[in-house]
């Protein structure tokens, strides 16, 4: 599934730099703010650091805009904007 880091409903663009392709579960976790992607390491930051996916590295097939990763992180975790 395609997840928009800065949602279209929040005036985010429908561009590849604002999208990541993830499984259905990760899409739900991203939408709910239960996880985000660290912009420096491409590792998953889950709000529960003991969760099995916390710290796992993801493979991005295209460049993601830093501002969109920071938007996602700031929206739910209160920093990065």
Confidence of residue 80 (pLDDT cuts 50, 70, 90): very low
Confidence of residue 75 (pLDDT cuts 50, 70, 90): confident
Query: Where is pLDDT greater, at 79 or 71?
Result: 71
Burial code (b: 16+ CB inside 10 Å, e: under 16) for 10-29 equals eebeeeeebbbebeeebeeb
**Nearest Cα to 5, choosing from 38, 40, 47?**
38
Entry pTM: 0.86
Two tokens, residue 59? 């493979």
């Amino acid at each position: 599934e395609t997840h928009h880091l800065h949602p279209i409903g929040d005036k985010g663009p429908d561009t590849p730099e604002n999208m990541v392709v993830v499984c259905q579960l990760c899409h739900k976790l991203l939408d709910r703010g239960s996880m985000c992607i660290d912009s420096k390491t491409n590792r998953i930051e889950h709000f529960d650091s003991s969760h099995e996916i916390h710290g796992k590295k993801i493979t991005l097939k295209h460049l993601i805009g830093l501002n969109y990763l920071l938007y996602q992180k700031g929206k739910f975790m209160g920093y990065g904007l």
